[in-house]
Amino acid sequence: MTFPWPRNLPRFLFLVFLSCFVFRGLLHAATPIDLDDLAARFAAEIDKAGVESVAVVDFNADGERPSDLGWYLANKLSDSLVIKGAARKVVDRARLQELGLASDSSPSAGTLKQIGAASGADAIVSGRIEITSDKYLLTITLVKIGDGSTIASVTHPLPHSRMLDLLSPSGANAASINAARAGVSGVGVPACAYCPAPAYSGRVRITQMQTVELLVTISAAGTAEKISVIHSPGYILTERAVETVSEWRFRPAPGKDGTPVPVAVPIDVTFKASRT
């Protein structure tokens, strides 16, 4: 997902070069959210309907469009559907994003046909996320491209987790909604106190430098409370960047009176490939 960078928001020394070279060019991405059971249930519905090819569009989170949470869970489910062998083809989400067809969580009949023509998909997987105090209720729906009819719908609960809470529209803490902008109107800038680079080994080959641009709300206690994805070079790198920044600790930004305040600050996480 790519959002325009907020205007007039200064960019500080949070350009983090993860220069632990990736020998063999491989990166490990943890999987804090497991959608394999849901994917298995849905794969059975796809098989029963005789669908040959599916495309997963961004999910809608409590009416927010676009949504970082919806983007993340759509990618996670798409990966799980591939693993479970759902349909003969699960359209690459990166391809949908390149075509500008991934972000419509409630595609119209015209958009359905456009997605089908561009990707070769027979059906679309869309999703709706209801956020409650104790869980995320994910409802995914399979829609036939030809006539827009609903083939199947499955609802699956997910417990609150730090990853999902940080990406949700309101963040992990209500105070993050009214966060000040770092470095503006007398508000200071947070500084990294504990900002380790991600761990490496396993999943994606990095052939060139890639940067994930995030907008992170840092609380008055120095922890990340909300993360928005401004620019994503790919789902796995972005997931790894969000996971890593979520564990960072900061010296909080001082407000006008010197008291720590929550602030929003841009953070670039750059993955540097090996030269070998």
Boundary (domain end) residue, out of 132, 160, 188? 160
75 found inside a domain: yes
Both 148 and 185 in a single domain? no
Q: DSSP string of 87-129? A: SSEE--HHHHHHTT-SS-SS--HHHHHHHHHHH--SEEEEEEE
8 found inside a domain: no
Both 117 and 138 in a single domain? yes
Confidence bin at 13 (pLDDT 50/70/90)? very low
Both 182 and 144 in a single domain? no
Both 242 and 177 in a single domain? yes
* 162 against 29, higher pLDDT: 162
Q: How far apart are CA 67 and CA 171, in angstroms?
A: 12
Both 249 and 200 in a single domain? yes
217 found inside a domain: yes
- CATH number of the domain to which 155 belongs: 3.40.50.10610
2 found inside a domain: no
Tally of domains within the chain: 2
Boundary (domain end) residue, out of 160, 192, 222? 160
User: Which tokens is 102 given?
Assistant: 């991934």
Query: Phi first, then psi: what are they for 204, rounded to 5°?
Result: -130, 135
253 found inside a domain: yes
60 found inside a domain: yes
246 found inside a domain: yes
Both 173 and 253 in a single domain? yes
Question: Does residue 1 register a pLDDT over 60?
Answer: no
Both 146 and 97 in a single domain? yes
Q: How far apart are CA 152 and CA 140, in angstroms?
A: 8
Structure-token match 């761990």, residue found: 199
Both 154 and 61 in a single domain? yes
Both 98 and 131 in a single domain? yes
- CATH number of the domain to which 212 belongs: 3.30.2420.10
9 found inside a domain: no
Q: How far apart are CA 38 and CA 74, in angstroms?
A: 12
- Cβ burial of 238 (10 Å; 0-12, 13-18, 19+) is buried
Both 155 and 43 in a single domain? yes
Question: Does residue 27 register a pLDDT over 80?
Answer: no
Reported pTM: 0.82
Boundary (domain end) residue, out of 160, 194, 219? 160
Give tens-digit pLDDT for 205-250: 677 788 999 999 999 999 999 999 999 888 888 988 998 999 999 9
Question: Does residue 130 register a pLDDT over 70?
Answer: yes
Tell me the pLDDT of the chain averaged across its residues: 82
Which residues 6+ apart lie within 8 Å of 225 measured at CB? 166, 171, 172, 173, 175, 176, 179, 217, 218, 219, 262
Both 118 and 176 in a single domain? no
Give tens-digit pLDDT for 173-197: 876 677 888 888 899 999 999 998 8
Q: What is the structure's pLDDT at 20?
A: 31
Both 191 and 149 in a single domain? no
Q: Domain containing 101: what range?
A: 36-160
